[in-house]
Amino acid sequence: DLAEDKRALLDFLSRIHKSRDLNWRNDTSVCSNWTGITCNQENSRVIALRLPAIGINGQIPFNTLSRLSALQILSLRSNGFTGPFPSDLFNITTLTGLHLQFNTFSGDLPSHFSTWKNLTILDLSYNEFNGEVPTSISNLTHLAALNLSNNSLTGEIPDLALPSLQFLNLSNNHLNGTIPTSLLKFPNSSFSGNDFMPILPVMPPPLPPNIPSSPSASPFLATKSGRKLTESEILGIAVGGFAIIFLALAILMVMLWSGKRRGGAVSGKLSKGDRSPEKAVSGNQDENNRLVFFEGCNFAFDLEDLLRASAEVLGKGTFGTAYKAVLEDAAMVVVKRLKEVGVGKKEFEQQMEVVGRIKHENVLELRAYYYSKDEKLMVYDYYSQGSVSSLLHGQRGEDRTPLDWDTRLKIAIGTARGIACIHTENSGKFVHGNIKSSNVFLNPQSFGCVSDLGLSSLSTNPIIPRVSRTAGYRAPEVVDVRRSTQASDVYSFGVLVLELLTGKSPIQITGGGDEVVHLVRWVQSVVREEWTAEVFDVELMRYPNIEEELVEMLQIGMACVVRMPEQRPKMAEVVRMIEDVKRFDTGNRPSTEGRSPELSGLMPQPAQRSAGTSSPIQ
Ligand SMILES: Nc1ncnc2c1ncn2[C@@H]1O[C@H](COP(=O)(O)OP(=O)(O)OP(=O)(O)O)[C@@H](O)[C@H]1O
């Protein structure tokens, strides 16, 4: 229980040598007051202990931490721990993450890695372990990240058949022999700096998607087998080379984030014990330049980890560039690097606090932010499915998740609820300012989830090119005065609804680039001509008995995009209207028989459509 956890921690504290104080006192609450401790929701057990860079020397005292029988995460990284691998930690069968990197542990790794059935991250890098990589690591069937780099390990790598492994680093040891087939999927950088058979000095990142991922396409394998490369392989390597340069540039940019803030802020290469414990544990950064996490965020990373992470550019948006960062523990986050923030630190922080406070299932949670003179970053969860924009307009190949009608309805209702929630914030004055399909993601139940809130009021009013997708969502009055309002959010939402119904982008260029077609105007004109059925996405034609829902959603979408802002419905009203449509979705959809004459015959049959579609937007 918690009392035993407390005793174990106090025992640990009394038996370690440390250069700085910890605020662990017998008369204070472990869960509320003690630095580096995380308890479970009921505050009845200690589930995480994180003491990075706290200046502890010597061995981990035996039979102390191993008594924390509910512990899931143990991070003692960047200290001065010495001695052999603390084998009594095997008693903690609940452990999911063990971070002992940047210490001076030495000796062999134990040969009985089997009790940690739930372990997902094991980081023992930058120590002085020697001996062989134990085969028993294969017993850690949930292991997603294994880092044994920068030790003195010797011998051959065993064939670690780890089904969940996504990140592997064995670089800079003295390993030799060949790389087992089960590990060949990892980039060569995972194995560099060892005594393997000669390999190419430049290690390729994962192959770009346009290169076939057959083993022969890997330069590493080609060299090993010694056979000549085919023309397409050479081409593949050339393209891969560009990809490497591109990736290296991306990583360089991420590194630059740290470089820029030298002097007062954190550098990616702090030596051991450089930081005070409070700073190290509470976000690990200088108080004025730290990554600020919001409550409920379970991420175990800091700015340093973020800067070390490999980054991939997801895209450049209106307010900056979005990167996907893969942290050492294989967790993926999205980091938005903002450009041209037009407000000072205080205002920025206030805005972030408002955004970070919003907890709603249809609003993408801001996990953390960072502010310094040169850099402003925002951190979100990574949504692997991509945005609604990519789901709707992305490649229509095998990998594409088809957006069926129910999902589109769920996207619409989720997004509407998310925006309605946002509009209640800040005494009912909060405005999103940038509702569009690339800012909507699917939550685990496939409902729409709104991202990027709070950005439009921070930026220095970026000028949106007239012919850009973003411009297609802007309400007419915003184009004139360049100021968003809740009514203009409603307009943008209306465009999103029309996009979901038609499957078309809000702006299209036709006629060899001369003609710009606005989705809103096109839908309005088609409906005026009483060709209503023509507007709907052909992909929706396969779903039976959805005509009424389509038409009702079309009416809602059109009500949102009326020209006069004051005539648009409020977002809460829009939610109610869509919820009325959603009632059709209980499995008792009315059949086409018995519908009103206005609606009967409105929908042409699929064959009719394909013959007669006259849409100016293709
Ligand atoms: N949390 C996320 N998970 C997955 N992909 C994301 C995430 N956030 C953004 N993206 C994707 O990254 C790309 C760039 O996003 P970003 O928000 O910077 O620009 P945008 O949405 O195109 O434009 P804007 O800046 O106007 O919102 C987009 O394709 C977006 O869908």
Hey, which residues does 459 pair with through a beta bridge? Answer: 341
Categorize the per-residue pLDDT at 469 as very low, low, confident or very high, splitting at 50, 70 and 90. Answer: low
pLDDT at 68: 96
pLDDT at 104 over 60: yes
> Residue 402's CB: how many other CB atoms inside 10 A?
9
Which residues neighbour 515 within 8 Å (Cβ) at sequence distance 6 or greater? 509
CA–centroid distance, 334 to ligand 1, in Å, is 9
Residues 558-563: what's their mean pLDDT? 95
pLDDT at 328: 63
Residues 539-565: what's their mean pLDDT? 90
Q: Annotated binding residues for ATP, as ranges? A: 336
Average pLDDT in the chain: 76
| Integer CA distances (angstroms), 74 to 35, 71, 257, 345, in order | 14, 7, 28, 34
Residue nearest to atom 27 of ligand 1 (CA): 317
Categorize the per-residue pLDDT at 112 as very low, low, confident or very high, splitting at 50, 70 and 90. Answer: confident
How far is Cα 90 from Cα 26, in angstroms, rounded to an integer? 27
Tens digits of per-residue pLDDT, 288-329?
A: 557 787 765 555 566 677 776 777 888 888 788 888 887 766
- Cβ 334 under 6 angstroms from ligand 1: yes
Residues 116-130: what's their mean pLDDT? 90
- Cβ 439 under 6 angstroms from ligand 1: yes
Residue nearest to atom 16 of ligand 1 (CA): 317
Residue nearest to atom 18 of ligand 1 (CA): 317
Categorize the per-residue pLDDT at 217 as very low, low, confident or very high, splitting at 50, 70 and 90. Answer: very low
Give the DSSP letter of residue 70: T
Atom of ligand 1 nearest to the CA of 387: 31
- Cβ 453 under 6 angstroms from ligand 1: no
pLDDT at 215: 30
What is the number of residues in the chain?
A: 618
pLDDT at 589 over 60: no
- Cβ 532 under 6 angstroms from ligand 1: no
CA–centroid distance, 339 to ligand 1, in Å, is 14
pLDDT at 567: 94
Q: Structure tokens of 467?
A: 């012919």
**Percent of residues, the chain, with pLDDT higher than 90:** 32
pLDDT at 409: 95
Q: Could you give the ipTM of this predicted complex?
A: 0.96
Which residue from 364, 381, 439, 496 has its CB within 8 A of the most atoms of ligand 1, so it is best to mutate? 439
pLDDT at 200 over 50: no
- Cβ 462 under 6 angstroms from ligand 1: no
pLDDT at 153: 95
Q: Annotated binding residues, as ranges? A: 336
- Cβ 430 under 6 angstroms from ligand 1: no
CA–centroid distance, 442 to ligand 1, in Å, is 13
Tens digits of per-residue pLDDT, 493-504?
A: 999 999 999 999
**Percent of residues, the chain, with pLDDT higher than 70:** 72
Residue bearing the bigger pLDDT, 614 or 400: 400
149-153, 247-251, 589-593, range with greatest mean pLDDT: 149-153
Of 209, 150, 234, 148, nearest in space to 183 by CA: 148
Residue bearing the bigger pLDDT, 333 or 274: 333
Residues 232-261: what's their mean pLDDT? 48
108-112, 397-401, 533-537, 613-617, range with greatest mean pLDDT: 108-112
Residues 395-414: what's their mean pLDDT? 81
How far is Cα 42 from Cα 115, in angstroms, rounded to an integer? 26
CA–centroid distance, 295 to ligand 1, in Å, is 23
- Cβ 322 under 6 angstroms from ligand 1: yes
Residue nearest to atom 24 of ligand 1 (CA): 317
pLDDT at 613: 29
pLDDT at 418 over 80: yes
